[in-house]
Amino acid sequence: MRLLVTGGAGFIGSNFCHYLVGQTDSEVTVLDKLTYAASRESLQGLPSERVSLVVGDICDADLVDRLVDEHDAVVHYAAESHNDNSLSDPSPFIQTNIVGTFTILEAVRKHGVRLHHVSTDEVYGDLELDDPDRFCETTPYNPSSPYSASKAGSDHLVRAWVRSFGVQATLSNCSNNYGPWQHVEKFIPRQITNVIDGRRPKLYGAGLNVRDWIHADDHSSAVWTILTKGEIGQTYLIGADGEQNNLEVIRMILTLMGQPDDAFDHVTDRAGHDLRYAIDSSRLRRELGWRPVYRDFASGLERTIAWYREHEDWWRGHKDSVESAYASKGQ
């Protein structure tokens, strides 16, 4: 299969490219604008005869049209992805996440090319801590932030293009990913690199907010499963039963890194901070036979800590500017 992977130089997209090279015989073209969140290094080591990078914008209709025409399927990861940034400046979120997805939809419609659209569980809003229910494919949309609202908008566009124009698309909504190549602005890499640097980890508010963690490799295998076995027009939720509150995660990181588990700071909470995400992925498991490999969050976290220790050159250049931006907001 010749695959066009948008956002393939970002965190999850680059992990997906490594998965494709290791587990399939696909040829891959990455289309990526190389925003602050991307890195060419995340694609280093992949064979050039199977993986190539086109630097460009998913909102560039001519470029997208030409690339889509040259491929058998598009896996669409490209997005502005950080909630905190969407609170400071929503504009690029509307442009890339909504207009960019529209641009891809028009190209796959014209050329009859298969699309898999990668989305997030945040489109469903949040759950109470004691709610026995988890998100499932029929949970109503109720996004809280400009980021999650823009992703919800992109999901609605994909569904409308399936229904109105017969576009051959599937969708997935996944929970919080962790693993290598994640930008240091995000929760887990920020805290790991803080400890490496002798800074104290920063916990928003009381830290009781729950996230449902999945390793990026498991997200990749789920996307490949849906791309190859999923039913057109359907949505699949991806999750690995990894609920942890943020306080527990910071304590785990500190302990795994040999520090006292109370050596962190409480900082200003995120505006509109979603309380809890939790995914019921039973449809994906039952209908398509997918299973996560990383079942033990602590050992996945330990490997991720080791990766950030070994790849300081990769994240070092971003660290000070990320921390100054957070500090200016009291975070």
Residues that bind ligand TDX (CB under 6 A): 81-83, 120, 122, 176, 186-187, 190, 202-204, 209, 211, 246, 270
Count, in order, helices (H) and strands (E) of the chain.
12, 13
Query: CB of residue 51 vs ligand NAD: minimum separation in angstroms?
Result: 14
Longest dimension (CA), the chain: 58
Catalytic site includes residue 89: no
Task: Decide whether 122 or 217 has the Cβ nearer to ligand TDX.
Answer: 122
Give residue number: closest CB to ligand NAD: 10
Query: CB of residue 283 vs ligand TDX: minimum separation in angstroms?
Result: 19
d(CA 312, CA 180): 12
Q: Specify the DSSP class assigned to residue 200.
A: P
Task: Decide whether 29 or 176 has the Cβ nearer to ligand TDX.
Answer: 176
- Residue 40's Cβ-side half-sphere holds a number of Cα atoms within 13 Å equal to 5
Q: Specify the DSSP class assigned to residue 10.
A: S
Report the 10 Å Cβ neighbour count for 309: 13
100 binds, among ligand TDX, ligand NAD, none (CB under 5 to 8 A by kind): ligand NAD
Question: Per CB under 6 A, which of residues 239..258 are in contact with ligand NAD?
Answer: none
Query: CB of residue 257 vs ligand NAD: minimum separation in angstroms?
Result: 22
From 17-25, 57-65, 160-168, 318-326, give the range in contact with ligand NAD by CB under 6 A. Answer: 57-65
> Position of tokens 């992805």?
81
Task: Decide whether 200 or 273 has the Cβ nearer to ligand NAD.
Answer: 273
9 binds, among ligand NAD, ligand TDX, none (CB under 5 to 8 A by kind): ligand NAD
Question: Per CB under 6 A, which of residues 164..223 are in contact with ligand NAD?
Answer: 174, 176-177, 183
Task: Decide whether 57 or 323 has the Cβ nearer to ligand NAD.
Answer: 57
Query: CB of residue 181 vs ligand NAD: minimum separation in angstroms?
Result: 8
190 binds, among ligand NAD, ligand TDX, none (CB under 5 to 8 A by kind): ligand TDX
The answer to whether residue 32 forms part of the interface with ligand NAD (CB under 6 A) is: yes
Q: Which of 11, 25, 41, 20 has the alpha carbon at shortest distance from 311?
A: 41
In DSSP notation, 111-164 reads: HT-EEEEEEEGGGG----TT-S--B-TTPPP---SHHHHHHHHHHHHHHHHHHH
Name the active-site residue from 19, 77, 147, 294: 147
Question: Per CB under 6 A, which of residues 58..117 are in contact with ligand NAD?
Answer: 58-59, 77-81, 96, 100
What is the chain's alpha carbon radius of gyration, rounded to the nearest angstrom?
19
Name the active-site residue from 32, 57, 80, 121: 121
Name the active-site residue from 32, 122, 155, 323: 122
Among 12, 51, 162, 252, binds ligand NAD (CB under 6 A): 12
How do strand 73-76 and strand 265-267 relate by DSSP bridges? unpaired
> Position of tokens 């890499």?
189
In DSSP notation, 246-308 reads: HHHHHHHHHHHTTS-TT--EEEPPPTT---B--B--HHHHHHH----S---HHHHHHHHHHHH
Catalytic site includes residue 310: no
Among 3, 9, 167, 247, binds ligand NAD (CB under 6 A): 9
Catalytic site includes residue 121: yes
d(CA 76, CA 98): 12
Query: CB of residue 29 vs ligand NAD: minimum separation in angstroms?
Result: 12
Asked if 115 and 73 count as a contact pair (C-beta separation under 8 A), the reply is yes
Which residues does the annotation mark as catalytic?
A: 121-122, 147
Residues found near ligand NAD in the complex (CB under 6 A): 6-7, 9-13, 32-35, 37-38, 57-59, 77-81, 96, 100, 118, 120, 151, 174, 176-177, 183
